[in-house]
Amino acid sequence: MMKKNISVVMIFAAILASMNCGERMIQEKAPIEYVQRELDKLAPVALQCDLNQIPNSEIKTLKKLIQAAQIIDQLFLLQVDPENLKLARELERYRGTPDQPYLDLFTVMFGRWNRLDHDKPFLTNKAKPLGAGFYPPDMTKEEFESFLKEHPDQVEAFESNFTVIRRIESKLTAVPYYLAYQPYTEQLAKLLEQAADETNDPTLERFLRLRSQAIRTDDYYDSDMAWMDLNGDLEIVIGPYEVYEDALFNYKAAYEAFLCIVDKAESEKLMQIGGYLNDMEAHLPIADRYKNFNRGAGSPIKVVQEVFAAGDTKAGVQTAAFNLPNDERVREAKGSKKVMLKNVMRAKFEKCWIPIAHAVLAPKLLSLVSFDAYFNEVLMHEMSHSLGPGFITQADGQRVDVSKKLKECYSVIEECKADVLAILNMKFLIDKGVFSREIEPSLYATYLGGMLRSIRFGINEAHGGGVAIQFNYCFERGAFKIDEDGKLDLEEKKLYPTLVDLAHQLLMLQATGDYEGAKKFIEQYRRLTPVLQTAIDRLHAVPVDIRPSYPILNELGLNE
């Protein structure tokens, strides 16, 4: 940890110098038509959640936490670009004028670069620095690396997830977040303490006190451990987590927050489904010797309603589910937790998913699609990741991870498997009486309707690629077809057996660790066929994601 030898005054001087006080920030604007078109890709939605489920003490806690999350927004703005706070003030003048779209796109993107269009600049003529605001803008990768060769004692501090690199008196220096981002870090720590004072949930109180300390020291281990133990009404994530904003090295963690209420009805359903995991494994369409009953439940799943989100996660495309913490030490000790944001998923379903179904699905299927079927399919997808062969025992008796055998083919095969098993397992649970028989037609229509949403973002990424494989496999066997108007239709009697067959193929590629076979299979089916391309071409006017607002802020008397 970097605590010695840094004068706080020096740091502030360096930060102030980098802010170009007095200079006009907005130098070159993209045409307003472009900015408006990009905004239109994100459907506005007022994100709803039901506060009646939780006691008064937790509403007071939430209020403090929303204030804390608003600080997270400020912190992330600074991480993206040290000039952002000044820019934000300057852009306020656009509110209520014809130039407001610039302010709106800036707010969505947390900066001057469009995250939906390869970081294309729209309020500057400068490209976004790869290292965002985490490093001096003129520092190269080579300079960073050669500095560490000369100063091996600095490696830990420089590569830490929780330091920024600054040039102080022309020398590269690692500054811990809690110092670099004063006074925001101190304000954040105080608000977390105040939230801890309000809550009646002992697990949340413990997490918040430890997290408050962590914000002041940048040591997150104890609070990550405490986060795994949360078991009350609120599910709270707040702090620096993901490292993608640092595209230079993926070292620096970006601040983000998810404030959520646990969905109790869904949690009960999950418990019930969890009880069938072994039966689902037994029911897999492969020989018993390939089945694996010892994989454990994987990461526990929680279903929640998002009340407010802030920082990294709110920039550009909205998160619908996450798996944390990232600290491998915590994962080893306690596993990780998968959290699904049901109201965010519903908003995406209504604003982006349904319009896709309208554009590509045969009318008779359109009347069958439902959010419930969609949501349950996503849930079963997540659970299905923990089913099937995870390890292969080699001839020499050694156990090898399937992913090591299938290498770059692994993730697309695994995502494809989880999609297909999701449908098989839903059918299994219908047969067991967990879900009602009536949802079966809805299940298949929703399955087909959702495919274009993934493929639209490209088939080279694992999820989109996995879906292209399923679509082409089913199409080839007549389980999917085109109706007389060129819309997508399905043959219900053929679909289930086709999926059993596909599941068998995928599971056997994993069970035998057949790298060459997986490669051939992917080459054969992961293709953008003319049928798929025609369907994708119909989607150009459909929003790609949502742009949430949070009416809850008004309800609680907080400023936006």
Name the residues that contact Zn ion, by CB under 5 A: 415, 418
Place of tokens 């008004």: 554
In angstroms, what is the minimal distance from the CB of 379 to Zn ion?
11
In angstroms, what is the minimal distance from the CB of 411 to Zn ion?
9
| Helix and strand totals (H; E) in the chain | 26, 15
Q: Using the minimum distance from each CB to Zn ion, give the nearer residue, 62 or 416.
A: 416
Q: Which residue is nearest to Zn ion (CB)?
A: 418
Task: Please name which of 526, 540, 374 lies closest in space to residue 448, comparing C-alpha atoms.
Answer: 374
In angstroms, what is the minimal distance from the CB of 387 to Zn ion?
12
Place of tokens 């400068």: 126
Token readout for 446 is 């929703």
Measured between alpha carbons, how far is 560 from 547 in angstroms, rounded to an integer?
A: 15
In angstroms, what is the minimal distance from the CB of 493 to Zn ion?
28
Task: Please name which of 235, 202, 198, 205 lies closest in space to residue 53, comparing C-alpha atoms.
Answer: 235
In angstroms, what is the minimal distance from the CB of 263 to Zn ion?
20
In angstroms, what is the minimal distance from the CB of 102 to Zn ion?
37
Measured between alpha carbons, how far is 455 from 488 in angstroms, rounded to an integer?
A: 14
Side chain identity at residue 340, one-letter code: M
Q: Mapping DSSP to helix (H, G, I), strand (E, B) and coil, where does residue 167 land?
A: strand
Q: Using the minimum distance from each CB to Zn ion, give the nearer residue, 296 or 551.
A: 296
Q: Using the minimum distance from each CB to Zn ion, give the nearer residue, 413 or 418.
A: 418
Measured between alpha carbons, how far is 160 from 156 in angstroms, rounded to an integer?
A: 6
In angstroms, what is the minimal distance from the CB of 464 to Zn ion?
12
Task: Please name which of 189, 196, 252 lies closest in space to residue 216, comparing C-alpha atoms.
Answer: 189
- Report the Cα 437 to chain-centroid distance in Å: 32
In angstroms, what is the minimal distance from the CB of 384 to Zn ion?
8
Q: Using the minimum distance from each CB to Zn ion, give the nearer residue, 157 or 387.
A: 387
In angstroms, what is the minimal distance from the CB of 416 to Zn ion?
10
Judge contact between 223 and 205, C-beta under 8 A: no
Q: Using the minimum distance from each CB to Zn ion, give the nearer residue, 47 or 339.
A: 339
Judge contact between 277 and 290, C-beta under 8 A: no
Q: Using the minimum distance from each CB to Zn ion, give the nearer residue, 105 or 383.
A: 383
Q: Mapping DSSP to helix (H, G, I), strand (E, B) and coil, where does residue 321 land?
A: strand
In angstroms, what is the minimal distance from the CB of 460 to Zn ion?
16
Measured between alpha carbons, how far is 52 from 65 in angstroms, rounded to an integer?
A: 18
Q: Using the minimum distance from each CB to Zn ion, give the nearer residue, 418 or 552.
A: 418
In angstroms, what is the minimal distance from the CB of 385 to Zn ion?
6
Q: Using the minimum distance from each CB to Zn ion, give the nearer residue, 462 or 508.
A: 462
Instruction: Please give the biggest Cα pair distance in the chain.
Output: 75
Q: Using the minimum distance from each CB to Zn ion, give the nearer residue, 101 or 388.
A: 388
Q: Mapping DSSP to helix (H, G, I), strand (E, B) and coil, where does residue 525 land?
A: helix
Residue 16: partners with Cβ closer than 8 Å, 6 or more residues away = none
Q: Please say whether the dihedral angle defined by the alpha carbons of residues 349, 353, 358 and 364, taken in this order, is positive or negative.
A: negative
Q: Using the minimum distance from each CB to Zn ion, give the nearer residue, 377 or 415.
A: 415
H helices of 432-491, where? Answer: 440-455, 462-476
The number of beta carbons lying within 10 Å of the beta carbon of residue 445 is 24
DSSP string, 71-116: HHHHHHHHHH-TTHHHHHHHHGGGTTSTTHHHHHHHHHHTSSEETT
Measured between alpha carbons, how far is 315 from 303 in angstroms, rounded to an integer?
A: 22
The number of beta carbons lying within 10 Å of the beta carbon of residue 194 is 17
Q: Using the minimum distance from each CB to Zn ion, give the nearer residue, 123 or 502.
A: 502
In angstroms, what is the minimal distance from the CB of 415 to Zn ion?
5
Q: Using the minimum distance from each CB to Zn ion, give the nearer residue, 38 or 415.
A: 415
